[in-house]
Structure 1
């Protein structure tokens, strides 16, 4: 992809903001998901899922825009691995099990992917 349109540039900026927002949501859940989790914890998790859905919708456009860029394809494939990890959430009954899933599996994989994805996006929007 040679030159971004204003609309594409804006979408990539919003995508980056979603990445950061998801990190903040995960941080909140890591710090607040306990046996007696506040009622907001479920809402934050649902917000994280909504943000993932928005990323998923945007990824379809990214695939088209960056179809000749092999690293972008790998990054977008890795996104689906994170979604599969998140799907385990509903199989756990206790908040401690859900927190362990996030802390031990989801967050480390997500943060690694986020860092790589932000670096990739920066190469297009930092100009």
Structure 2
């Protein structure tokens, strides 16, 4: 039964890869890519929302969980597709109230890679507009 499931999965994977559009290039489902046209809505107090395009990371990375008989019962290694390097960029928002600083700062990906998240520099609640408010 297990062998049959494995064959079906591999066959499905082959079909997925073979149906990619011509000229797409080599595709690895377990790889991290840099996407140069990610749509983002810049939101800042005193300004109307403005759509910008940023470079960001997307993809899938290998992840491993090894069961254990004792506490903690498993060993996990979950890699994320994230920035290997990035730069800060800023733009002037076009539609802001008088007296409001229209500068909007954001992170732009330079390179991306699969890596283990670190509590030192990863926060799932992080937003660029909160950084200026000291959060």
Same fold (TM over 0.5): no
RCO higher in 1 or 2 (8 Å CA, sep ≥ 6)?
A: 1
Task: Place the TM-score, normalised by the shorter chain, in its bin.
Answer: under 0.3
TM-score w.r.t. length of structure 2: 0.25
The TM-score normalised by the length of structure 1 is: 0.25
Bigger radius of gyration among the two: 2
Question: More strand by proportion, 1 or 2?
Answer: 2
